[in-house]
Amino acid sequence: MSPDVQQTTDDLRYLKGVGPKRVELFAKLGVFSIEDLLEYYPRTHEFRPPLFLIKEIKPDFNVTIGVIVDQVRYNARSRPPRFEAIVRDATGFTRLLWFHGKYLVDKIVPGMKLAAWGKVSHYKNALQIVNPRWSIVTDIDYFMNQQDFGIPVYPATAELTSQAIAKIINTSFDKMIATVKERFDDKFLKSHQLISRRNALTQYHKPADKPQILAARRRLAFDELFLMELGLALRKQNIKIEANAISMSVNERLDKRIRAVFPFELTDDQKNAIAEICADMNNTQPMSRLVQGDVGAGKTVVALYAALLAVSHHQQVAIMAPTEILAEQHFLSIEKFLAHSRVKRILLKGGLTGKKRTETLAKIANGDYDIIVGTQALLQKDIRFNDLALVVIDEQHKFGVLQRHTIANKDKAPHYLIMTATPIPRTLAMTIFGDLDISTIKHLPPGRKPIKTRLVQPDQINLAMNFIREQITKGSQAYFVYPRVQADPEQELAEITDADEQPATIIKAAIAEHQRLQKNVFPEFNVALLHGQMNHVDKKQTMDDFRNHKIDILVSTVVIEVGVDVPNATIMVIENADRFGLAQLHQLRGRIGRGSKQSFCLLFGESKTPQAQQRLDVMVKTCDGFKIAEEDLKIRGPGEFFGTAQHGLPELKVASLIDDYELLLLARKDAFQMATDDPQLKNRENQPIREALIRKFGSNLVLANIG
C-alpha cells in the first residue's frame, strides 16, 4: 500500500518499540500501517526442540539452548576440517561443532548471543551438539519466552532483523488484532471451511503447531485471491456497463464467403474460437477476448476471420504487432489470403514521414482503408480512424503496459481480440488476463510433425554440424540463433571465471559467428546475418531472400522469436541455449516445423545451474507449449513469467498461483458473483471488502492491463 492511502489512525508510531527511525526502516519494506504489519507475513516458521539449560541436556536429546559464545576455533588440518564454539549459559558450558565449518569464521564470534538446536552427543567425556542449526539472538530472555509457539521468521534487513520484527509484532499483537474487520459472514466462512480473519492472522504469526499454520494460510490465501479476482471482475463489469460497441452479426452466407478465403479446412479448435468471437461481436458490449495457442496453431486465421466480419459490416480493423518484422509477417499473411479481394489494406510503418504520412493518415481517417496493420505506431495521437470496430493485438505483453483506449476512435468502443503464442498456464490466464474471455487453440493443423529436439554437448558439435550439412544439401534451410549481436569485452572479462575459478561459458555473438560459419564451417552455403540493429530495409531484404531460398543459413538474434514463417526452414540451432528462458526457447523453436517436413531443434550449451538444466530437459521432453508454460511458471514464478511486473495486480504474499489452483477457482467464482450482484459494492455487508479492495488497489482500482 502506498503512503497516500494509509489511515492516520493506523499508525506504526504508536506501537511499542517502533519510533521514527524504525518507521523509516519499515517503509523500506513496504510497511506503512498496522494493517500492513499484520500482513507482513513470516516467510517460514521454526518449530525448534524444547528449550533446555546446559546443565539439563543429555545424550540423544533434541534440544534448543540459548547461550553466549565464549571462544571459537577453526581447525583446517583435521579430517574433516572443523569449526567449534565453546558456549555457556548461567548453568555451565558445552561445545558446538560444525564439520567443514570454514564459512562460520567471522560469522560466530566470542560474546555473541546464540540460539542453537540439534541432537546432543557424547565425545571424550563431554557433551556437544554436532552441526546444529543456529540463529543470532539479541535478547535471550525474550527468546526463551517464545518457545510455546512456532518461531516466525520474517523477511529482514541488516537494520531490522527478523527477531526485532517478531518482538514488535508480539508485544503489540492484541492491540493490532483488535483493528481487524471480518470480511465475510459466518455462513460464508462455514460453507468455505475458512477460519475467521482474526484467527488466521493470529495463527500465522503465533502458531501453536503446523496444522494451525495450514488453516491460517488457507484463509489468508483465499482473501488475497478473492480481492485480486474481484478487482478483475469489477473491471470487466465496468467495461460492460460503460462501453458501447457496434454489433456485427454473421449469417450462413457471410460465413461461407469468409471461409472461402482460406484454401484449407479449419481445425475444430479454430472453428470453436471463431464461434466464440462471432457471438462476442454480435453484442453491443465490447468483446475482450484472448486467443491463446501454441506457435503455428493458426491464430492468425482466426483473427483474419474476425477482421473480415468487421469489414463486411463496413467497419475498420487495426492489427497491432510488437515489431516491424512481425507486423510485416501479418501483412504478408493477409496479402496471401486476400490477394484477389476488394478489401483495402495497408501496412503502416514507423518510418513513414512527411507528405506520404499525411496522405496515408488522411485516408485512414476517411475510411479508405479497411484493415490497417502496424506496430506501436498505431497508438500515436495523430492517427484517427473513421469506423474502427475491431482491434487485434498480437503478443501485447511485449509492449509493456498499454491501455486499450489509447487507440483513438469516434464515439464507439472497438471490440478487442488479443492473440498470444505464449501459452498461458490456466492460473495465470485467470489473473493476468482475468478480465478477458479466453479461447484456446491447442491442436496444430493436420500434417505437422512434432519437432525433434536434442541437447548437443560440446564433444558432439562436429557431428551436429555434419547432420546440418546433410539436411541443407537435401534442400532444407537453417537458423542459427545467438544471445548477443556482438561480443561485449567488459562482460566477457567479468565472466572469465566463476566462483570455483573454473572457466566460464563464452557467450557467442551473432556477428562474429556469422563470419566463422560462412568461412570455416559452411563455405559451400550462403550464410546471412539478421539482427535488431540493422536498418529496416536490410532486415526486410534479408528476410525476403531467406523466404525465397536465396539464403541457406540465417544467423540471427532473438529478433526472429515471433512471426517469422519460412516453411522450408527445418533446422533450428540455439547457441548458449542455457542463457535463454524456457518460453523464449519454445518461441524460437516455433519458427521451424511450419511445413510437412521433419524439423530438428539443436540446443548447444552447457548448463551451469540446476534451473538452466531443468529448462533444457523440459525442451527435450516436450513440444507442448502448455506443458512448457506450466513448467516455466514453476521455475520462474508468476512475477517473471511475462518479463514485467507491471500487470496492475496486487502482490500475492501467501497465495500461490501454482499450488492454490482449487482455491483460486473458488475465490474467482465468489468474486465474479459479487461483481454481478453488487457492481459498486454499495451493499452494507460488502463494505469491509470494499475498504480492503480500495486499500489493495488504491487509485488503480480500474486495473492497468497487459491483455
- The confidence score (pLDDT) of residue 649 equals 54
389 with 342, same domain?
yes
pTM of the predicted model, to two decimals? 0.62
What's the distance, CA 6 to chain centroid? 29
Of 402, 420, 438, the residue that ends a domain is: 420
Q: In angstroms, how far apart are the furthest CA atoms of the chain?
A: 98
- The confidence score (pLDDT) of residue 706 equals 24
CA angle 487, 482, 544 (to 5 degrees): 115
CB 511 within 8 A of CB 485: yes
Least Cα distance to 629 among 592, 588, 577, 586 occurs for 586
- The confidence score (pLDDT) of residue 470 equals 95
Question: Strand pairing of 527-530 and 553-556?
Answer: parallel
CATH number of residue 108's parent domain: 2.40.50.140
- The confidence score (pLDDT) of residue 191 equals 95
> How would you classify residue 195: left for phi > 0, otherwise alpha for psi between -120 and 50, otherwise beta?
beta
- Where is 97: in which H helix or E strand? strand 92-99
Partners of residue 456 on adjacent β-strands: 604
| Helices assigned H by DSSP within 69-139 | none
Question: Strand pairing of 371-374 and 345-348?
Answer: parallel
Residue with cell 458473483: 673
- The confidence score (pLDDT) of residue 506 equals 60
Least Cα distance to 83 among 71, 94, 65 occurs for 71
262 with 350, same domain?
yes
Is 707 inside any structural domain? no
515 with 600, same domain?
yes
Our count of domains for the chain comes to: 5
267 with 370, same domain?
yes
Is 26 inside any structural domain? yes
Is 373 inside any structural domain? yes
Of 605, 622, 639, the residue that ends a domain is: 622
376 with 260, same domain?
yes
Is 266 inside any structural domain? yes
388 with 502, same domain?
no
- Where is 636: in which H helix or E strand? helix 625-636
What is the extent of the structural domain holding 144?
Answer: 48-149
Least Cα distance to 292 among 268, 307, 271, 270 occurs for 270
- The confidence score (pLDDT) of residue 400 equals 39
- Where is 123: in which H helix or E strand? strand 113-123
374 with 333, same domain?
yes
- The confidence score (pLDDT) of residue 646 equals 38
Sign of the four-CA dihedral 440, 446, 447, 452? positive
CB 442 within 8 A of CB 294: yes
Which residues have a Cβ under 8 Å from the Cβ of 669 and sit 6 or more positions away?
none
Is 428 inside any structural domain? no
d(CA 589, CA 591): 5
Least Cα distance to 236 among 267, 192, 280 occurs for 280
Please tell me the total number of residues recorded for the chain in this structure: 707
Reported as a single tens digit per residue, the pLDDT across 146-184 is: 655 678 889 988 788 888 898 899 999 999 999 999 999
Reported as a single tens digit per residue, the pLDDT across 435-485 is: 678 888 887 777 778 889 999 988 899 999 999 999 999 999 999 998 887
Of 622, 643, 669, the residue that ends a domain is: 622
528 with 577, same domain?
yes
Tell me how far CA of residue 355 lies from CA of 164, 324, 344, 359, 361, in angstroms. 67, 21, 21, 6, 10
Neighbours of 13 (CB within 10 A): 9
CATH number of residue 498's parent domain: 3.40.50.300
DSSP for 257-325, please give it: HHHTTSSSPPPHHHHHHHHHHHHHHTSSSPPEEEEEE-TTS-HHHHHHHHHHHHHHTT-EEEEE-SSHH
Is 590 inside any structural domain? yes
517 with 566, same domain?
yes
- The confidence score (pLDDT) of residue 681 equals 87
Sign of the four-CA dihedral 454, 458, 464, 469? positive
199 with 96, same domain?
no
- 544-572 as b/e: b if 16+ CB within 10 A: eebbeeebbbbbbbbbbbbbbbbeebbbb
Q: At what angle do helices 625-636 and 610-621 cross, to 10 degrees?
A: 170
Is 308 inside any structural domain? yes
Cell reading at 152: 516466525
d(CA 457, CA 202): 53
- List average pLDDT for each run of 10 residues in the chain, which is 707 residues long: 42 85 90 92 87 91 92 90 93 93 89 92 90 84 67 86 88 92 94 96 91 95 91 75 81 93 90 95 88 80 94 93 81 87 87 82 90 83 86 66 48 83 67 73 78 90 94 94 71 38 57 90 93 81 90 86 73 89 83 85 83 86 81 64 45 81 90 89 90 75 35
Is 273 inside any structural domain? yes
473 with 574, same domain?
yes
14 with 122, same domain?
no
d(CA 569, CA 478): 5
Which residues have a Cβ under 8 Å from the Cβ of 598 and sit 6 or more positions away?
449, 452, 570
